[in-house]
């Protein structure tokens, strides 16, 4: 029997992805962010849905930490679901069930680096409930709650994590993006804010990156990274690749947000070289007269393995920039201009 309601829901999901792929940053308003963040979509075959919550401690000397943070605190929390009834997540069977509207079973996972060591929050086959401007879940045997609206959100995990966001002074604090090519397509929203609170009993002040991703696509190899510098500037990049050790990249993008000069430098289909040497990730690009290079030193690592409807190894590296160099016809920007930084580098492959 044809399920008309489900077909309609799948069509609405594709319509959302198409909308996100066509928006300019100026069109990414509060109403759209609430609609995307606080809704569960009907997934087509190969469908996937992610909520990512990333937080980086502010680097340098602060009133909280008078000595320089060589290994800044950072944490990641994830809610993930996919099309199908179940999958293996880190070799544990996880079920996916739609219980009722905006109530479903999914995977929650996460980790915290507290400035000294990495704490794995484990993998939970949790029941997720979405209400108006509130997501309730569970991780590490504790309630996880995300609530609020742009730019003021709150995230708590029992008595371990309590964080509140506010609007910062970064050049771009929200955007919507997507790629749409039936039967595939994926769309997402990004939110960049300041954050403060308590993590594992320690005062935490820094930046937040909140993200919701939804669409229909296969698991595939990619690199993604984002580094935030002490003066509020940031450098990010993304590329797909054809295999674990492949040096052939496509769907390439790079962006540098120059917070001091209030300028966004975008790279159009840059020539990209990514390598790993002695625990450092080296990312180099070339786009006409713009030549960025960054060396990222790893200080913590967390790996995830997913199998079901395809498979993927996904590794997150907590990193600090040891070198940064962006040369243009006009000027050269280095860490001397930006200050220290902290970020995440991701490596995913089949």
- pLDDT at residue 86, as a whole number: 97
Looking at every residue in the chain, the average pLDDT score rounds to 94
- pLDDT at residue 65, as a whole number: 46
- pLDDT at residue 88, as a whole number: 98
- Could you report the per-residue pLDDT of 274-329, keeping only the tens digit for each? 999 988 999 999 998 899 999 999 999 999 999 999 999 999 999 999 999 999 88
- pLDDT of 66 over the 60 cut: no
Name the nearest CA neighbour of 55 among 233, 210, 259: 210
Phi first, then psi: what are they for 186, rounded to 5°? -150, 135
Q: Are 147 and 51 in contact (CB under 8 A)?
A: no
CATH 2.40.370.10 region(s) of the chain?
219-350
- pLDDT at residue 16, as a whole number: 97
- pLDDT at residue 77, as a whole number: 98
- Match domain 219-350 to its CATH number in 2.40.370.10, 3.30.1370.60, 3.90.1150.10, 1.10.3720.10: 2.40.370.10
Chain center to CA of 101: 26
Residue of 340 and 59 predicted with greater confidence: 340
- Three-state SS at 34: helix
- Indicate the burial class of 19 (C-beta count within 10 angstroms; 0-12, 13-18, 19 or more): middle
| Per-position DSSP letters for 221-265, written without gaps between them | -EEEEEEEETTS-EEEEEEEESSTT---EEEEEEEEEETTTTEEE
Of the listed ranges 9-13, 68-72, 152-156, 314-318, the one predicted with least confidence: 68-72
pTM: 0.95
- pLDDT of 62 over the 70 cut: no
């Amino acid at each position: 029997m044809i399920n008309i309601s489900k077909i309609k829901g799948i069509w609405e999901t594709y319509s959302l992805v198409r909308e996100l792929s066509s928006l300019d940053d100026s069109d990414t308003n509060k109403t759209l962010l609430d609609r995307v963040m606080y809704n569960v979509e009907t997934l087509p075959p190969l469908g996937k849905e992610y909520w990512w919550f990333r937080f980086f401690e502010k680097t340098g000397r602060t009133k909280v930490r008078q000595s320089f943070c060589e290994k800044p605190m950072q944490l990641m929390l994830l809610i993930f679901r996919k099309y199908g009834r179940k999958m293996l997540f880190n070799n544990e069977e996880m079920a996916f069930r739609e219980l009722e509207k905006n109530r479903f079973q999914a995977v929650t996972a996460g980790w915290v680096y507290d400035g000294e060591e990495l704490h794995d929050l484990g993998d939970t086959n949790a029941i997720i409930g979405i209400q108006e401007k509130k997501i309730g879940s569970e991780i590490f045997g504790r309630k996880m709650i995300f609530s609020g609206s742009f730019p003021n959100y709150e995230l708590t995990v029992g008595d371990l994590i309590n964080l509140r966001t506010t609007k910062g002074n970064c050049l771009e604090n929200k955007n919507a993006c997507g790629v749409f090519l039936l039967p595939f397509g994926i769309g997402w929203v990004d939110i960049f804010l300041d954050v403060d609170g308590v993590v594992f009993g320690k005062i935490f002040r820094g930046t937040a990156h909140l993200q919701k991703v939804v669409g229909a696509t296969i698991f595939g190899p990619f690199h993604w990274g984002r580094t935030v510098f002490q003066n509020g500037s940031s450098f990010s990049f993304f590329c797909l690749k054809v295999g674990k050790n492949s040096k052939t990249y496509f769907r390439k993008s790079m962006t540098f947000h120059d917070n001091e000069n209030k300028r966004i430098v975008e790279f159009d289909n840059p020539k990209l070289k990514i390598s790993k040497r002695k625990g450092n990730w080296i990312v180099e690009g070339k786009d006409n007269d713009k030549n960025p290079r960054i060396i990222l030193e790893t200080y913590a690592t967390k790996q995830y393995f997913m199998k079901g409807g395809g498979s993927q190894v996904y590794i997150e590296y907590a990193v600090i920039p040891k070198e940064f160099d962006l040369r243009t016809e006009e000027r050269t920007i280095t860490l001397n201009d930006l200050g220290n930084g902290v970020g995440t580098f991701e490596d995913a492959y089949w």
